[in-house]
Amino acid sequence: MHWIAPSEKDSASKSLEKRPWDAADQFRANSGLKAQEHSGPILGLVFLRFAEICFALQRSKLEGGERIIPQR
C-alpha cells in the first residue's frame, strides 16, 4: 500500500500552513534573539494558549451553572 499525497490543496489549508511559518519568520527577524534562545518565548506562548483554553472551559462551566468538584 502506497500513500500518495493529494496533488492540490485548497486555499484554506494553504493559508493555515503558511501562517505559522510567516509568524516564525517575523519572530526570528524582529526578536534579536540567538537561535538557541527562541525556545523560551515560544514555550511561554504555548503555555499561555493552554492556560487560556483551560480558563475558558472552566468559565463556561461556571456560567452554565455546573458544579465543579476539584480533583485530587
Residue 64 DSSP code:
T
What percent of the chain shows pLDDT beyond 90? 18
The answer to whether the pTM exceeds 0.75 is no
- Once rounded to an integer, what is the mean pLDDT over residues 50-72? 80
C-beta separation of 28 from 41 below 8 A: no
d(CA 17, CA 11): 10
Q: What is the mean pLDDT of residues 18-23?
A: 84
Identify the sign of the CA torsion 7, 12, 56, 20: positive
